[in-house]
Amino acid sequence: MRTRIKVCGITRSDDAGLAVELGVDALGFVFWPGSPRCVSLRQAATIARDLPPFVATVGVFVNQPLDDIRTVAAGVGLSAIQLHGDEPPAAWGSVPGRCIKAVGVGTGFDAAAVAAWPAGVWPLLDAHDPARRGGTGRAVDWDIAAAVSRTRRIILAGGLDASNIGEAIARVRPFAVDVASGVEREPGIKDPDRLRAFVERVAAADAGLVP
Look at the chain and report how many structural domains it folds into.
Answer: 1
Residue 211 belongs to some domain of the structure:
no
Confidence check: pLDDT of 134 > 80: no
Q: Which amino acid is at 8?
A: C
57: confidence class by pLDDT, cuts 50, 70, 90: very high
Is 28 inside any structural domain?
yes
Full residue range of the structural domain in which residue 85 is found: 4-206
Q: What is the pTM of this model?
A: 0.93
CATH number of the domain that residue 177 is part of: 3.20.20.70
DSSP secondary structure letters along 144-181: HHHHHHTTS--EE-SS--TTTHHHHHHHH--SEEEESG
By C-alpha distance, which of 100, 18, 113, 112 is closest to 59?
100
pLDDT digits (tens, 9 = 90+) for 153-181: 999 999 999 999 999 999 999 999 999 99
Alpha-carbon torsion, ordered 113, 115, 117, 123, to 10 deg:
110
Active-site positions? 8, 126
Residue 60 lies in a domain: yes
Burial 73-88 (b: 16+ CB within 10 A, else e): beebebbbbbbbbebe
